[in-house]
Amino acid sequence: MNDEIKHFPENVQKLLADARIPIEQLKPIYYELTIGEHFPDDSIRLIEVNNTLIEELDKNKKLVIRGTHDDFATLCTSEQAFELKTAETSNTLLLASPLDSSLANKENGCVSLKVNTILHAKYELTPSVPKLKRIRQLLEEKLYRGHFDDDEDTFTRKITLNDLKNEVQASDQAIDVYLKKLNVITVDGHLRLLDFDFRTKLIEYIFSLISIHDWSNENIPIDKCASEMKEMCPKSVAKQFLEQIGTISTDGNSIALNANTISIHYALDLLRNLEKMKLSEFMTCWRECVPSEFPINLEQLIGFVIHSEDTIAYIDVDDLSEKADERIKTLFSRKNLWTLLELEPFLSNLTTSSAEFITLLATHTRSIMKDGQKYYVPKYS
Each residue's pLDDT tens digit, 153-207: 666 788 999 999 988 999 999 999 999 999 999 999 999 999 999 999 999 999 9
What does pLDDT average to over the chain?
A: 88
Q: What is the pLDDT of residues 128-139, one digit of tens each?
A: 999 999 999 999
What was the pLDDT predicted at 105? 54
In whole angstroms, give the CA distance from residue 160 to residue 158.
7
What was the pLDDT predicted at 281? 97
pLDDT band at 1 (very low <50, low <70, confident <90, very high): very low
pLDDT band at 100 (very low <50, low <70, confident <90, very high): low
pLDDT of 2 over the 50 cut: no
Query: How does DSSP assign 77-138, residue by residue?
Result: -SS-EEEEEEEEEEEEEEEEEEPPGGG--TTTTEEEEEEEEEEEEEEEEEE-----HHHHHH
What was the pLDDT predicted at 28? 66
What was the pLDDT predicted at 375? 94
For 49, other C-beta atoms within 10 Å of its C-beta total 15
pLDDT band at 4 (very low <50, low <70, confident <90, very high): very low
| Listed residue (290, 294, 288) closest to 259, CA to CA | 294
pTM of the predicted model as reported, rounded to 2 decimal places: 0.82
What are residue 55's phi and psi, to 5 degrees? -65, -40
Among 85-89, 215-219, 357-361, 369-373, the least confident range: 85-89
In whole angstroms, give the CA distance from residue 260 to residue 143.
24
pLDDT of 258 over the 70 cut: yes
